[in-house]
Amino acid sequence: MINSEPCECGRTHPRLMRILGRTDDMIVIRGINVFPSQVESVLMKIPEVGEHYQIIVDRKGPLDIMKVMVEVTETGFSDKIADLMSLSKMISKELKGVLNVVADVELVEPGTIPRSEGKAVRVIDKRKV
């Protein structure tokens, strides 16, 4: 991950952040390289959702589609449906900003995304070669 904020020491050049994952976790969606760790870093900045996620890649006609499932936390849950809709839209927009890929965001109940035991199954690729 690239950190473009100035360092405490005053250096302003983009720096490498701590290593979040292996590069061979990479998936290619519509020709764009996507690292699951990027998705994680986006979600960690959003308090309304948990840091667990699952990426589902599928193909619709000739195009790849990416769906990100995230868990709603109790703090993020609003009684109003419009708030929940705008939450998923906001996450989708944030993901687009970082990944440059349009991702559908699906909000799910907490605890429904499988937890990592050793190696987490974060990406489910349903595309057929």
Partner 1 sequence: MVAIKQISLFVENKPGRMAKVSKTLSDAGVNIRALTVAEAGDFGVIRMVVDDPGNGYKVLHDNGFTVSETEVLAVEMKDIPGGLYEIVNTLGESDVNVDYAYAFVTTKAERAMLIIRVDNLEKARQVLTSAGIKLATKDEIQKI
CB of 81 to partner 1, least distance (A): 5
Range in contact with partner 1 (rule: CB under 8 A) among 8-16, 21-29, 92-100, 106-114: 106-114
Size of the site for partner 1 (CB under 8 A): 17
Q: How far is CA 33 from the centre of its chain?
A: 13
Q: Which is nearer to partner 1, 5 or 109 (CB)?
A: 109
Q: Which is nearer to partner 1, 1 or 108 (CB)?
A: 108
Cα separation of 87 and 48, whole Å? 8
Range in contact with partner 1 (rule: CB under 8 A) among 11-19, 24-32, 101-109, 118-126: 101-109
Cα separation of 129 and 119, whole Å? 25
Q: How far is CA 89 from the centre of its chain?
A: 13
Closest of 31, 24, 22, 40 to residue 98, by C-alpha: 40
Q: Which is nearer to partner 1, 48 or 64 (CB)?
A: 48
